[in-house]
Amino acid sequence: MWKLLRQTGCVGIVTEPPPGSDEALRIADSLQLQIKSIIGRALCIRQIDAGSCNGCELEIHALNNPVYNIEGLGIKFVASPRHADLLLVTGPVSRSMEVALRRTYEATPDPKLVVAIGDCGCTGGIFGENYASTGRVANVIPVNVAVPGCPPSPSRILAGILTAISSPRAITSVSDN
Amino acid sequence: MDQLTYWIEQAKPMPGAPGVCQLEVSVETWQQLARDIAADGGRLLALWVDCEPAMTVRVAFLTKSIVLVLALAVAESSAGYPGLADSFPAAARMQRAAADLCGVRADDFDTRPWLRHAAWPTRYFPLAPERQAFEKTEAVSDEYRFVRVTGDGVHEIPVGPVHAGIIEPGHFRFSIVGEKILKLEERLGYVHKGIEQRFTQMQLLVGHRLAARISGDSAVAYSWAYCQALEGMAQVVIPPRAAWLRALALECERIANHLGDLGALGNDAGLSFGLAQFSRLKELWLRAGEAAFAQRYLLDFIVPGGTGMDPSVNGLSGLVTCAGMVGATASEIRTIYDEHAGVRDRFTGAGIVTPELAARLGLTGLAGRASGQSFDLRVDLPCEPYTSLSVTKVWRSNGDVAARVEVRFDELSESLRLVEQIVQQLPDGHHLVDVAAPAAGTMGTGIIEGWRGAVFIALTAAKDGLIGRCHPHDPSWQNWPVLEHAVIGNIVPDFPLINKSFNLSYSGHDL
Ligand code: SF4
């Protein structure tokens, strides 16, 4: 126990400040964002691998490490779409995951946001569309923000998430109250 | 001279990876050799079907310190060929996958589809040369015939394909009594995205980019294996510096993955401290890697003819400094894992694969080395620069989660040592030479010991610089079926821990 505490103490707090949101990443704005701002800052994310090479997942995992410390920002990954505000979807969507992705989207309560991750999620990437791949995420479910990169770095992914939830209009509506 | 040695002498060397020979065989020799190789303790490396120029089923074995590829011509797609699942159980799923993609069946008893879900029509064979144009059908869920376990108090738990976490999709069907697992049946193929067909639409000189994206966590291993095959076919010898830089990248990839897994395993055993510590180390390691290679994950580092860039002196020395720090911290945490009663209790005796079972089922790579299967390509069939690196092989024979954790810890320190050695002895010179696309019809192979195990590529050139066929093989093919055995008799709540201790690839398997 002593060693464990010493190790924890020696490392200390390593969390870095988060990146700002990036308007360049936005694809479509949503009225639902205003409702989002009423829910508050705590945000629940359900991640779905719809056919990725697993590279994007590695960088999404990194968001949970102490350096990015996404939970410290009030964002957490949840196990069920029913508890989620936002879906983080990777991959070209494989045809075998198409139904599962649609069902997950339907099971997510409104208002819901979708962030597509990686070149594959944005465009289908190197895999494109074929008998087994339906290509980009937006071919299957509506997407709010798309983050390119192969894989995008954790800070780009985080910027994408923050872009999705921080619509300028939503913020205005809060101060109007 | 025994029969096997006789046949090996008849085989012709193949371009690419060292020690690979090919032999065209008749149906009788096909079966007989498979039995002889199994009896001699050989291992199955990969099995696939090439549809062109003539329908041919190929199988690669590791036997007598070489890789022997058997090629069996199959007359018509309906004729079938003798399956090898009796001698090599891991062949079963590879044969089913080949039937889904090419339409040629083995005569083994399990003829259920494997990669083909209901997503594409049953008469469409993605790799067959005269395939019909693909017409998109409505997406439906498929009806897969799981093997049922019946009896008093037995019930089923279906899990997935979408899991409760940041994990790749796959389906697990547990038959349980109380908490105890009687049987696990896996259903994979959810992330099948047509990689093998996609290869045939690409130029030989850019195929390495797709290879790197077969399984993102093994990008270096796959892109190296691809380039090894291509360079062999094009008769290009890469500069020594390029080979050493590739090995540096491969060890960096191994270190990143082991750091990630060691943290996740601590977490699954209830010690979130482990996850926090190791995920921080992994982040620092990836950043040191980014400073050296200009990429956190090396998806575009290895290119035909060498490497895409040459790391700066500062970048390299940063890696060595980081390696020293990671090594020291990891050994501190290792003591904490070792002394933590809760962790010990969860790790020890969970998910056991005995060396006998591992040998019979063909368990390979890292998981194999935790169950007494001490094979490591870097030592047993090394390519340059491993011929001059003298890697210390790591293995255990307990075959439980604890053993797989120990192998990771030991391999981590060995790879950190290798990083230092490689940076110190890195030869000067160019990091890249020109490669021209090889002539149509040339075939070659690449085999690289990735962090999970041996990654294999079989590559054939078509005309106009195109890829005729590229079959990638992940060690997860051999290991997924063994996981079904490893969990028998364990309790359901231990499954995530046992599964993580194997950490097999879905994307690399589903293709
Ligand atoms: S964007 Fe790149 S890392 Fe992400 S799934 Fe696609 S190929 Fe893999």
Q: Is the pLDDT of residue B76 over 70?
A: no
Instruction: Output phi, psi for A81, to 5 deg.
Output: -60, -25
The torsion defined by the Cα of B450, B452, B454 and B459, in degrees rounded to 10, comes to -70
Chain-chain contact of A100 with B117 (C-beta, under 8 angstroms): no
Whose Cα sits closest to atom 2 in ligand 1? Answer: A150
Question: Would you place residue B133 in the very low, low, confident or very high pLDDT band (cuts 50, 70, 90)?
Answer: low
Fold designation for B3-102: Beta Polymerase; domain 2 (3.30.460)
Question: Would you place residue B75 in the very low, low, confident or very high pLDDT band (cuts 50, 70, 90)?
Answer: confident
Strongest mean pLDDT among A17-21, A66-70, B22-26 = B22-26
pLDDT digits (tens, 9 = 90+) for B215-259: 999 999 999 999 999 999 999 999 999 999 999 999 999 999 999
Residue B390, pLDDT score = 87
Residue B139, pLDDT score = 60
Q: How far apart are the first and last CA of chain A?
A: 50
Percent of chain B past pLDDT 70, that is, above it, reads 97
Give B-chain residues touching A11 at CB under 8 angstroms. Answer: 277, 280
* Cβ-Cβ contacts under 8 Å for B366 (sequence gap 6 or more): B404, B407, B408, B411, B451, B452, B453
Q: Is the pLDDT of residue A169 over 50?
A: no
Fold designation for B204-506: Cytochrome-c3 Hydrogenase; chain B (1.10.645)
Q: Is the pLDDT of residue B338 over 90?
A: yes
Stretch 122-161 of chain A: residues touching chain B, C-beta under 8 Å:
125-128, 130-133, 150-151, 153
Average pLDDT, chain B: 92
pLDDT digits (tens, 9 = 90+) for A97-127: 998 999 999 999 988 899 999 999 999 999 9
pLDDT digits (tens, 9 = 90+) for B374-390: 999 999 999 999 999 98
Stretch 9-48 of chain A: residues touching chain B, C-beta under 8 Å:
11, 14, 47-48
Least confident of B50-54, B331-335, B357-361, B444-448: B50-54
Tally of structural domains, chain A: 1
Instruction: Output phi, psi for A39, to 5 deg.
Output: -60, -30
CA separation for the pair B66, B187 (Å, rounded) = 33
Q: Is the pLDDT of residue A58 over 60?
A: yes
Q: Is the pLDDT of residue A30 over 60?
A: no
Closest chain A residue to B207, measured at CA: A126
Give the SS3 label for residue B25: strand
Chain-chain contact of B283 with A62 (C-beta, under 8 angstroms): yes
Asked, for residue A44, whether it belongs to a domain, the answer is: yes
Cβ–Cβ < 8 Å for B176, B182? yes
Question: Would you place residue B152 in the very low, low, confident or very high pLDDT band (cuts 50, 70, 90)?
Answer: confident
Q: Is the CB–ligand 1 distance for residue A118 below 6 Å?
A: yes
Percent of chain A past pLDDT 90, that is, above it, reads 50
Residue A13, pLDDT score = 82
Asked, for residue A20, whether it belongs to a domain, the answer is: no
Q: Where in chain B is the domain with CATH 3.30.460.80?
A: 3-102
Residue A40, pLDDT score = 61
Residue linked to tokens 């010179």: B429
Residue range B7-16: mean pLDDT, rounded: 92
CA separation for the pair B18, B231 (Å, rounded) = 12
Q: Is the CB–ligand 1 distance for residue B213 below 6 Å?
A: yes
Q: Is the pLDDT of residue A32 over 50?
A: no
Question: Would you place residue B322 in the very low, low, confident or very high pLDDT band (cuts 50, 70, 90)?
Answer: very high
Question: Would you place residue B276 in the very low, low, confident or very high pLDDT band (cuts 50, 70, 90)?
Answer: very high
Among the listed residues A148, A65, A57, A18, the one whose alpha carbon sits nearest the alpha carbon of residue B285: A65
Chain-chain contact of A99 with B141 (C-beta, under 8 angstroms): yes
Q: Is the CB–ligand 1 distance for residue A135 below 6 Å?
A: no
Chain-chain contact of A99 with B139 (C-beta, under 8 angstroms): yes
Q: Is the pLDDT of residue B414 over 50?
A: yes
Cβ atoms within 10 Å of B493's Cβ, excluding its own:
9
Q: Is the pLDDT of residue A37 over 60?
A: no
Q: Is the CB–ligand 1 distance for residue A38 below 6 Å?
A: no
Residue B432, pLDDT score = 93
Q: Is the pLDDT of residue A175 over 50?
A: no
Residue range B303-313: mean pLDDT, rounded: 95
Residue B118, pLDDT score = 76
Residue A27, pLDDT score = 53
CA separation for the pair B238, B374 (Å, rounded) = 29
Cβ–Cβ < 8 Å for B461, B439? yes
Average pLDDT, chain A: 82
Q: Is the CB–ligand 1 distance for residue A81 below 6 Å?
A: no
Bond prior to B385 in cis (omega within 30° of 0): yes
Structural domain for A164, as ranges: 29-173
Residue range B415-434: mean pLDDT, rounded: 95
Residue B128, pLDDT score = 84
- Residue A144 CA to ligand 1 centre (angstroms): 19
Residue A92, pLDDT score = 96
Q: Which tokens hold the place of A162?
A: 């923050």
Single-letter amino acid code for the residue at B374: S
Asked, for residue A47, whether it belongs to a domain, the answer is: yes
ipTM of the complex: 0.92
Q: Is the pLDDT of residue B66 over 70?
A: yes
* Cβ-Cβ contacts under 8 Å for A68 (sequence gap 6 or more): A15, A16, A18, A62, A154, A155, A158, B283
Q: What is the 3-state secondary structure (H, E, C) of A38-106?
A: HHCCCEEEEEEECCCCCHHHHHHHHCCCCCCCHHHHCEEECCCHHHCCEEEEECCCEHHHHHHHHHHHH
Stretch 43-102 of chain A: residues touching chain B, C-beta under 8 Å:
47-62, 64-68, 77, 79-80, 91-92, 94-100, 102
Q: Is the pLDDT of residue B147 over 70?
A: yes
Min distance B217 CA to chain A CA atoms (Å):
6
Question: Would you place residue A2 in the very low, low, confident or very high pLDDT band (cuts 50, 70, 90)?
Answer: confident
Residue B246, pLDDT score = 97
- Residue B419 CA to ligand 1 centre (angstroms): 26
- Residue A77 CA to ligand 1 centre (angstroms): 20
Residue range A163-176: mean pLDDT, rounded: 50
Q: Is the pLDDT of residue B140 over 70?
A: no
Q: Where in chain B is the domain with CATH 1.10.645.10?
A: 204-506
CA separation for the pair B186, B170 (Å, rounded) = 8
Residue A111, pLDDT score = 84
- Residue B411 CA to ligand 1 centre (angstroms): 27
Cβ–Cβ < 8 Å for B181, B352? no
Percent of chain B past pLDDT 90, that is, above it, reads 80
Residue B141, pLDDT score = 62
pLDDT digits (tens, 9 = 90+) for B173-214: 999 999 999 999 999 999 999 999 999 999 999 999 999 999
CA separation for the pair B292, B177 (Å, rounded) = 52
Question: Would you place residue B54 in the very low, low, confident or very high pLDDT band (cuts 50, 70, 90)?
Answer: confident
Residue A170, pLDDT score = 37
Q: What is the DSSP letter of B41?
A: T
Q: Is the pLDDT of residue B120 over 90?
A: no
CATH number at residue A82: 3.40.50.12280
Residue B148, pLDDT score = 87
Whose Cα sits closest to atom 7 in ligand 1? Answer: B213
Residue linked to tokens 């962790």: B343
What are B12-15's contacts with CB under 8 Å, separation 24+?
B14/B69, B14/B232, B14/B443, B14/B444, B14/B445, B15/B229, B15/B232, B15/B233, B15/B235, B15/B442, B15/B443, B15/B444, B15/B445
Question: Would you place residue A7 in the very low, low, confident or very high pLDDT band (cuts 50, 70, 90)?
Answer: confident
Asked, for residue A72, whether it belongs to a domain, the answer is: yes
Cα-Cα-Cα-Cα dihedral sign, residues A39, A43, A49, A52: positive
Mutate to test the interface with B, among A54, A67, A102 (most CBs of B within 10 A): A54
- Residue A120 CA to ligand 1 centre (angstroms): 6
